[in-house]
Chain A
Amino acid sequence: MTPRSSALRLTLVAMGVLSLAACASKPKPQFPTTQAPQARTEPQRAPNREPPVAQVSQAPLPGSERDFVVNVGDRVYFDFDKYNVRSDAQPLLDAQSAWLKRYPAVQVRIEGNCDERGTREYNLALGARRANAVREFLVSHGVDAGRISTVSYGKEKPIDPGTGDEADQHNRNAHTALVSGARMQ
């Protein structure tokens, strides 16, 4: 069809400048995103860390996955849009390195995670950086690189289903998953 000029013809020309005025006066941001909350220096422990061993429970078997999760810690946290290992995460990663050297049959996978305050593809790339940062830390502390694989989950697997700064902080993490070689509890 070849449209001809007609009485009803609409002219479609971008008229965006006018419509933009509305966007420019949007309310101020409610969610500060340039900095991680200051209170984020609590010990690097998994949020779902199990309670202290009760009388009826068995102590974690040394070399087991539970031993790793409870006595070492399987997750470290990152600042917003950052992937450097924070100084408060280093003691936990030191302990991971020591534990992995003590149990050399164990293979691990470092899983990089992001909060939802970023777009999907960029967050996959950011999660890959976080996973690699932990991997490099462990390797530089003597863990054989061949024992460590990495994956980025981007923002696809949040551990905290909430929204807001606290949930976002929880979701910016690298999780060390034991893939094989750990002793059965």
Chain B
Amino acid sequence: MIWKPSKRSLITALAALPLAAALPRAARAEIEVNVNRGDVQPLPIAIPAFAGTQGADIAGVISANLQRSGLFRPLDPASFLDHDLNVSVQPNFASWKQINAQALVVGQAAVANGSLQAGFHLYDVFAEKELDFQGGGGLQLNASPENWRRIAHKISDAIYERLTGEKGYFDTRVVFVAESGGRGARVKRLAIMDQDGANPSYLTDGASTVMTPRFSSNSQEITFMTLRPEGSTIWLLNLDTTRRESLGDFQGQVFAPRFSPDGTKVAFSVARGGNSDIFVMDLRNRQTARLTSDPAIDTSPSFSPNGSQIVFNSDRSGTPEIYVMGADGSNPRRISFGQGKYTTPVWSPTGEFIAFTKQTGGEFHIGVMKPDGTDERLLTSSYLDEGPTWAPNGRVIMFSREGAAGGPKLWTIDVTGRVLQPVPYPGAGTDPAWSPLLN
């Protein structure tokens, strides 16, 4: 273990930040940005550099987050006309209307008593009014100065939620398998980074092949597997303590681990005599139950958000398809019926969709369907897309994409299939797993 956990003590006081100047009430019709249509226009938003310590860096991280969501279009700071901003004073709306900014973020940051404090106000430019957060006015956050990026992510989440009505997903991390070396000589290391690719660090040294890390709901524990000639092992790793323990010996080859939503269980596959079945271990008493006993391949279990059902992959019909069963293994039923091979089903955190990898002809796709198998939609297509993982708000999916040449890279696609973007991490990566929102 070569990774040391960084102090994650973010003082999460979302204090109301009162604005000194009284603002005039809105006196115009409401702007409506409707993303129901396929031709949705991202919302133009101005995010000038915050005043004070690392103010430009903080604004830059917020802009990049909102831009990557596909729902916002941060305006080029070079186009700004008003350079005399003050968080205590009402902005000059006319100068922001002139560049067609519909929303405006005005903030400042300062270090006091060893703590970085950042506050901001959010304005509806054309309505000429402030958009209040809970408690009225803007928001203020405190953290140790080295956690300035987390402050920027939390501000991004607050803006996203205030303007969309949906929880944000920016104050999150991604655990994945970092790859180096070419095909046939790959070194695979467990790695973790912020969702925007910043602060990457390795959790293992590459001596053994690691695969399929998954987050627990507490964001501080992951499960993953290692593969050696002598067999495979499923591990539980605590990110705070770096303590690592094996799930145990199951008289077969174990793989495909995934936590239950409450973190008390791990579902996984065991291959014995060539046959793979799904098991679940209760981590509290180490009792293991067998959930499938079909002679076909049964793997890639993923719990529904309320823990009552499991979606999994099976070829019991002759081709790899997606099935749903009770969390006790009861009543398995097939939900995928389209052309092609379906694998890697993953239930969305909202319960709304199941993401999957689909292979049709020579192409691989990331797709989604409803848990009853209806409304299947393919979101991506390439030589090799695989391994979807959901952002905690169920709006964005991260996956790995590999061409016939070059190493695998991490990408995101939003659930509408409109916004496809590479994750800004420079290295090769596969098997991403998105954390829940951090505390």
Contact = CB atoms under 8 A, between A and B. Distances in A.
Contacts of A20: 377-378, 417
A151 B43 contact: no
B26 A7 contact: yes
Interface residues of A, number: 64
A21 B365 CA distance: 14
Nearest to A16: B377
A23 B417 contact: yes
Interface in A120-158: 120-122, 124-126, 128-129, 131-133, 135-136, 150-154, 156-158
A119 interface: yes
B363 A177 contact: no
B359 A11 contact: no
Interface residues of B, number: 88
Contacts of B182: 161
Interface string B415-429: 111100000000000
Contacts of B395: 12
Interface stretch (A24-32, A49-57, A60-68, A93-101): A24-32
A6 B359 contact: no
B162 A3 contact: yes
Given A12-B166, A116-B384, A121-B343, A31 B362 contact: yes
Nearest to B184: A161
A164 to B, nearest CB: 7
A13 B299 CA distance: 32
A22 B417 contact: yes
B84 interface: no
B136 to A, nearest CB: 12
B229 A111 contact: yes
A85 interface: no
B184 A160 contact: yes
A176 to B, nearest CB: 13
Among A30, A119, A136, the most chain B Cβ lie within 10 Å of the Cβ of A119
A125 B386 contact: no
A122 B165 contact: no
Interface string A1-20: 11100111111111111111
Nearest to B256: A121
A20 B365 CA distance: 12
B35 interface: yes
B33 A8 contact: yes
A72 to B, nearest CB: 20
28 contacts: A1-B161, A3-B165, A6-B124, A6-B163, A8-B163, A9-B33, A10-B165, A13-B36, A15-B40, A19-B417, A29-B360, A31-B362, A117-B384, A118-B359, A120-B344, A120-B430, A121-B343, A122-B320, A124-B255, A124-B299, A125-B276, A125-B299, A128-B271, A129-B275, A151-B230, A151-B232, A163-B183, A163-B405
Interface of A: 1-3, 6-20, 22-24, 26, 28-33, 81, 83, 109, 111, 116-122, 124-126, 128-129, 131-133, 135-136, 150-154, 156-164, 177
